Chains A and B, each alone.
Chain A
Amino acid sequence: MIIRGDEPEQIELLRKLYKPGNYFMMGDEAVAYGAIFAGCRFYAGYPITPSSEIAETMARELPKVGGYYLQMEDEIASIAAMIGASWTGLKAMTATSGPGFSLMQENIGYAVMTETPIVIVDVQRSGPSTGQATKGAQGDFFQARWGTHGDHPIVAVSPVSVEDAFWETIRAFNIAERLRTPVVVLFDGILAHTREQIRIPDPEEVEIVYRKLPQNEEEAKLPFGDPHGDGVPPMPLFGHGYFTHVTGSTHKENGLRDVYTQEVHDRLVRRIHRKIEKNKHVYEKYEEYYTDDAEILVVSWGVSARPSLGAVLRARKEGIKVGLFVPKTVHPFPGDRIRELGRNVRAILVPEMNLGQMILEVQRFVNDDVLLKGINKIGGIPLTVEEILKEIRGVV
């Protein structure tokens, strides 16, 4: 059995098509190339600004590597087709922005419940509703976390630069495959359209993960069991004679629905949660700058982490003891580390392009005696170094 994109000749093909070296490209293109290097061979989507260049790049590049590009009739169909494709062993991705991400929510829940690995890129744009359609924002932090109904865990990663978008997309695929779960890439309209230099690596430099497949008939008969104790069931792919039944309704380990027994629901949903909680090492990632001796901490994510770093560097030159914490996986939130850092600082600033979303996560992990302040800007213009620096000086 093979997960498509796994074939040995793919390495040679990638090397030939995308010669290792430096390229100048926009964030959306970097996401697309990252997906191709990660083994993505199925893309289904519906155009929406500012994510469309991901679709355009995939439509052009996927056939070259034997992959499928489908432009579906809407976002609901796109994520549905991806889930269908994933059950046949294709690594699948879609990209969208605000309104499209909202339409996908029901099937994100379906992917969580059926433990289907897929990657959903949300290029955040200004909202609510059609808002400023072409402008970037960071307003979907909680839509990624709580957009679909029910108790469910979610993993979301968030790149901070064009080059980072390439690598974080690969990481999103690896997390999805390792944990058999949907993974969201919370990108944004500003980085999506920013052009920067990025280095395309040799394909051998890229670590690629493939989902666990059943080792025997026994394992294949329990597509939602936990034979290895890590909460991650091996995935019996369609078309191999296993007679697998997959449903978004509450199901037993063998896949058959049982929506009446409290214990069956409890066991299933708690395992899906445990699978994420217990496998922190698979997805947890953050960056720290000058946090050792920091008295003031800046916590920032995605596009806002860039000017935040600029402000911290400038403040350090002025002798201000300020550090920076950047979660690269934003869900589940790295609360333990925030709690540790929070003990040693007297103020925490949270710059983000919304009216205060991630700051609520930070708040959950710090004591009341720490001054907590958001630096918030909306309207499609990113925060500047000066704006953040001013606030840092303000709390000194």
Chain B
Amino acid sequence: MPEIYSKYPMVKYLRKEALPTALCPGCGGGTVLNAFANAIDQLKIDPRDIVVVSGIGCSAWIASPYFLADTLHTTHGRAIAFATGVKVGLPNKYVVVISGDGDLASIGGNHLLHAARRNVDITVILVNNFIYGMTGGQVAPTTPFGAITTTTPYRNIEHPLKIAETVAAAGASYVARWTTAHVYQLIESIKKALTTKGFSLVEVISQCPVQFGRRNKMKEPAEMLRWFLKNSIPINKAKNMSEEELEGKFVIGEFVNRRRPEFVEELNKLIRDVQSSLVR
């Protein structure tokens, strides 16, 4: 084992005693961890200034326990709510949530919307693999219409949630979507998300060959990556396309990048105002 990771320059960011990872070979989770570590490295952020919070699921494990920082591995769906408390206590640290689409957008959908609305300064990296990977490949709110899963053995008759679009509408400061086939863009977006004051979401379309690909004619990880590349539409181009044309496509790029008053700053400002009015 040691010879595998000793050649990998990002290993300094990993919790070695937790390796090797439990992710399946070919899982997109590795790419996400790699991109996150590279973003931290390029920004020269000291990992002592990062707290990573995650929920429950394969994607939740990407950074917790593997990333060497303070890490909080919480209950299913609640990572963003935990992270909000962490951010209030440590306003000068980078508070990052890395978790799955089931975790953050299904059971945790409410917290996702409200953190975006409040504009809490946390960075959310949402790994969208269209499936509940950890529990064995059941249908998720992101599963494509018509896809086969263990709980939609005939076909999925529900419509997937457009997470990035929804979170952008809810009020986030920064929202982007990429796939694991767009690694360099992904790293740039994670860097922007980390440096944006306010709520930021980077949605990563990621392959789960084991629970999703296998049942949908894409057994090999590379087949899934080719599927991503073939169906990705840059956001500018997508603006001129109809609903029907966009069906089954992945709109990629930056959805919003704006400044709004941030929650924890406003909270501290309010406290200062109240306290100074008491002195008078």
What residues of chain A have their CB less than 8 Å away from a CB belonging to chain B?
4, 17, 42, 44, 63-64, 66-68, 70, 72-74, 76-78, 80-90, 92, 106-107, 110, 238-249, 254, 256-257
B157 interface residue per 8 A CB criterion: no
Chain B: CB-nearest residue to A62: B271
What are the residues of chain B within 8 A of A84 when measuring CB–CB?
53, 72, 81-89
A238 touches B70 (CB 8 A): yes
- Known A63-B270, A84-B82: A239·B51 in contact at CB below 8 Å: yes
Q: How far is the CA of A246 from the CA of B71 in the complex (A)?
A: 6
What are the residues of chain A within 8 A of B15 when measuring CB–CB?
243, 245, 256
What are the residues of chain A within 8 A of B267 when measuring CB–CB?
68, 70
A70 touches B65 (CB 8 A): no
What are the residues of chain A within 8 A of B197 when measuring CB–CB?
none
Partner of B275, one of A64, A77, A92, A243: A64
A66 touches B74 (CB 8 A): no
Chain B: CB-nearest residue to A16: B278
B78 interface residue per 8 A CB criterion: yes
Q: How far is the CA of A89 from the CA of B70 in the complex (A)?
A: 14
What are the residues of chain B within 8 A of A86 when measuring CB–CB?
85
Q: How large is the interface on B (under 10, 10 to 19, 20 to 34, 35 or more residues)?
A: 35 or more
Give residues 60-111 of B contacting A (CB, 8 Å): 64-65, 68-75, 78, 81-90, 93, 110-111
Chain A: CB-nearest residue to B18: A256
Q: How far is the CA of A242 from the CA of B87 in the complex (A)?
A: 17
Q: How far is the CA of A268 from the CA of B82 in the complex (A)?
A: 23
Return B35 CB to nearest CB of chain A, in Å.
Answer: 21
Return A104 CB to nearest CB of chain B, in Å.
Answer: 11
A239 touches B90 (CB 8 A): yes
B48 interface residue per 8 A CB criterion: yes
What are the residues of chain A within 8 A of B85 when measuring CB–CB?
42, 44, 70, 80-86, 88, 92
- Known A63-B275, A64-B278, A70-B84: A90·B75 in contact at CB below 8 Å: no
A17 touches B72 (CB 8 A): no
B47 interface residue per 8 A CB criterion: yes
A245 touches B82 (CB 8 A): no
Chain B: CB-nearest residue to A238: B70
B214 interface residue per 8 A CB criterion: no
A80 touches B82 (CB 8 A): yes
B111 touches A73 (CB 8 A): yes
Return A117 CB to nearest CB of chain B, in Å.
Answer: 13
A238 touches B86 (CB 8 A): yes
- Known A107-B78, A238-B89: A247·B73 in contact at CB below 8 Å: yes
Return A65 CB to nearest CB of chain B, in Å.
Answer: 8
Q: How far is the CA of A249 from the CA of B15 in the complex (A)?
A: 17
B86 touches A110 (CB 8 A): no
What per-residue 1/0 map shows which CB atoms of B262-279 lie under 8 Å from chain A? 000001001100110010
Q: How far is the CA of A254 from the CA of B71 in the complex (A)?
A: 13
B47 touches A85 (CB 8 A): no
Chain B: CB-nearest residue to A67: B271
Return B191 CB to nearest CB of chain A, in Å.
Answer: 22
What are the residues of chain B within 8 A of A240 when measuring CB–CB?
48
Q: List 30 A-B contacts (CB under 8 A).
A: A42-B85, A44-B85, A64-B278, A72-B81, A72-B114, A73-B111, A73-B114, A76-B81, A77-B114, A80-B74, A80-B81, A80-B82, A83-B82, A83-B85, A84-B53, A87-B70, A87-B86, A87-B89, A107-B78, A110-B75, A239-B93, A243-B15, A243-B47, A243-B69, A244-B71, A245-B15, A247-B72, A248-B74, A248-B75, A256-B65
B114 touches A243 (CB 8 A): no
B73 touches A246 (CB 8 A): yes
A245 touches B65 (CB 8 A): yes
B17 interface residue per 8 A CB criterion: yes
- Known A64-B278, A68-B271, A245-B15: A81·B90 in contact at CB below 8 Å: no
Q: How far is the CA of A246 from the CA of B70 in the complex (A)?
A: 8
B78 touches A80 (CB 8 A): yes
Partner of B271, one of A63, A74, A80: A63
What are the residues of chain B within 8 A of A81 when measuring CB–CB?
81-82, 84-85, 88
What are the residues of chain A within 8 A of B47 when measuring CB–CB?
243
Partner of B74, one of A4, A70, A82, A110: A110
Return B228 CB to nearest CB of chain A, in Å.
Answer: 31
Q: How far is the CA of A44 from the CA of B82 in the complex (A)?
A: 11
What are the residues of chain B within 8 A of A92 when measuring CB–CB?
85
Partner of A70, one of B18, B68, B88, B271: B88
Return A260 CB to nearest CB of chain B, in Å.
Answer: 11
Q: How far is the CA of A67 from the CA of B68 in the complex (A)?
A: 30
Return A174 CB to nearest CB of chain B, in Å.
Answer: 20
A239 touches B70 (CB 8 A): yes
Return A41 CB to nearest CB of chain B, in Å.
Answer: 9
A238 touches B73 (CB 8 A): no
Q: How far is the CA of A67 from the CA of B274 in the complex (A)?
A: 11
The 3 A-B residue pairs with the shortest CB-CB distance, nearest first, are A88-B89, A84-B85, A81-B85
B274 touches A245 (CB 8 A): no
What are the residues of chain B within 8 A of A254 when measuring CB–CB?
17
Q: How far is the CA of A328 from the CA of B48 in the complex (A)?
A: 43
B73 touches A249 (CB 8 A): yes
What are the residues of chain B within 8 A of A247 when measuring CB–CB?
64-65, 72-73
Partner of B75, one of A44, A106, A257: A106
